[in-house]
Amino acid sequence: MRFNDSVLVLADGEKFEGYLVGADLDGGIVSGELVFNTALSGYQEIITDPSYSGQIITFTYPQIGNYGISSEDSESRNPFCRGIVVRDLVKNYSNWRAQTGLHEFMVENQVSGIAGIDTRRLTKHLRTVGAIPGAFGRDEALVVQAAASEPSTEGQDLVTGVTTPTPYTVGDPEAKFFVVAYDYGIKTTILRRLVAAGCRVEVVPSSTSAHDVLVRDPDGIFLSNGPGDPEAAPDAIANVQALLGERPIFGICLGHQILGLAAGAKKERLLFGHHGGNHPVRNEDTGRVEITSQNHNYAINVDSVSGAELTHVNLNDGGVEGFRLTKDNAFGIQHHPEAGPGPHDAAYLFQEFINLMSNSTRGR
């Protein structure tokens, strides 16, 4: 490994020198949208979160990899991010649960990264200019070209690249509740939470029609997290529109945004997004402030949605973090209440979904 053998270049020309880690690029280039994550732990869960499809993740915490990798902690079948940026990738990990190191995990899963970067300077720049295309590799001329030509994720359909190709079921066949979960990029911990709450969950592809969901006769419908621009998934929005009022619905992250758009809300693009495990959110029903885990570049505005009640507000920027559609038995949450790892302040929201199904007039 040679120091300063590679370079990271942003689309605006900003340059950072470092060295390559993880999978060998073999003269190639990694390009994508640069975002930063402020979490102090959970790098494995972050790298394997499908919501990062199309993006290069900058970790603000300086040492990444110090507790290794456990096969039990991955959030998806494989990483979907384009690459990672770190200050120091630790190879001498220490943790009784660890089975391998982050570097080896990256090699096995064909994830490349660049280390030795001044991530503080990079993060401050991203906070100013916003999420921006960039690229890294050894050949600076090719990197500059790739950074300039990498498109924005806005308008890109990233969901079809991460959703399950076929339905599958998790949980006890005799569970009290049967939930159909749309997979827009669903995380494993979400499924664990639903199963622990007493649900049998059938996970279906994002393209599954509303009719095909209803013929399964679920007690409730779950809309998962996922990557990118919610308006780039018009079929998903149309399906949710057709499902409103038919069954209780719970949406998280991208699912929350799709639910909002289906109800008539407007999309807003955030400058640099919310990515981290320490975002304060006020519950408007209780006044309680919850520390939450977040990962999204877009938000919704429900001011003009008839019948929508604001339930949660982001205390950093005043953005919508949650809403409910009382007459449709539906609610959405922008943050990640499963938070694995992360704060558990919002875990009660899964019980709210259970309560909504329990109180549904359908009955079973």
Q: What single string gives the DSSP state of each residue in 38-84?
A: --SS-HHHHHT-GGGTTEEEEE-SSEE-TT-B-GGG-SSSS--SSEE
In tens digits, the chain (364 residues) has pLDDT values of 455 689 999 999 999 999 999 998 877 899 999 999 999 999 999 999 999 999 999 999 999 999 999 999 999 999 999 999 999 999 999 999 999 999 999 999 999 999 999 999 999 999 999 999 999 999 999 999 999 999 988 999 999 999 999 999 999 999 999 999 999 999 999 999 999 999 999 999 999 999 999 999 999 999 999 999 999 999 999 999 999 999 999 999 999 999 999 999 999 999 999 999 999 999 999 999 999 999 999 999 998 888 999 999 999 999 999 999 999 999 999 999 998 888 888 899 999 999 999 988 554 4
Domain C-terminal end among 120, 149, 178: 149
Domain C-terminal end among 129, 149, 169: 149
pTM: 0.95
Query: Are residues 17 and 47 located together in one domain of the fold?
Result: yes
Residue 205 lies in a domain: yes
Residue 336 lies in a domain: yes
Residue 348 lies in a domain: yes
Q: Per-residue b/e over 31-59, b at no fewer than 16 CB within 10 Å?
A: bbbbbbbbbeebbbbbbbbbbbbbbbbbb
Query: Are residues 163 and 145 located together in one domain of the fold?
Result: no
Query: Are residues 210 and 348 located together in one domain of the fold?
Result: yes
Residue 301 lies in a domain: yes
Query: Are residues 168 and 265 located together in one domain of the fold?
Result: yes
Cα–Cα distance between 194 and 97 in angstroms, integer?
24
Query: Are residues 259 and 172 located together in one domain of the fold?
Result: yes
Query: Are residues 27 and 176 located together in one domain of the fold?
Result: no
Residue 1 lies in a domain: no
Query: Are residues 134 and 181 located together in one domain of the fold?
Result: no
Query: Are residues 101 and 191 located together in one domain of the fold?
Result: no
Residue 216 lies in a domain: yes
Domain C-terminal end among 149, 170, 189: 149
Which CATH number fits the domain that encloses residue 89? 3.50.30.20
Q: Which domain holds residue 233?
A: 159-358
Task: Give the burial class of 13: count Cβ atoms within 10 A of its Cβ; 0-12 exposed, 13-18 middle, 19 or more buried.
Answer: exposed
Cα–Cα distance between 83 and 109 in angstroms, integer?
11
Query: Are residues 42 and 164 located together in one domain of the fold?
Result: no
Residue 154 lies in a domain: no
For 66, 136, 176, 240, 333, the CA distances from 218, given in Å and listed in that order, are 43, 46, 11, 14, 21
Q: At what angle do helices 234-243 and 254-263 cross, to 10 degrees?
A: 70
Cα–Cα distance between 127 and 17 in angstroms, integer?
20
Q: Which residues are catalytic?
A: 253, 336, 338
- H/E/C letters for each residue in 253-271? CHHHHHHHHHHCCEEEEEE
Query: Are residues 166 and 192 located together in one domain of the fold?
Result: yes
Query: Are residues 143 and 174 located together in one domain of the fold?
Result: no
Query: Are residues 221 and 115 located together in one domain of the fold?
Result: no
Residue 79 lies in a domain: yes
What local confidence, expressed as pLDDT, does residue 363 receive? 43
For 50, 84, 238, 281, 335, the CA distances from 54, given in Å and listed in that order, are 9, 12, 24, 27, 20
The tally of domains found in the chain comes to 2
Which CATH number fits the domain that encloses residue 255? 3.40.50.880
The residues pairing with 89 across neighbouring beta strands, listed in sequence order, are 64
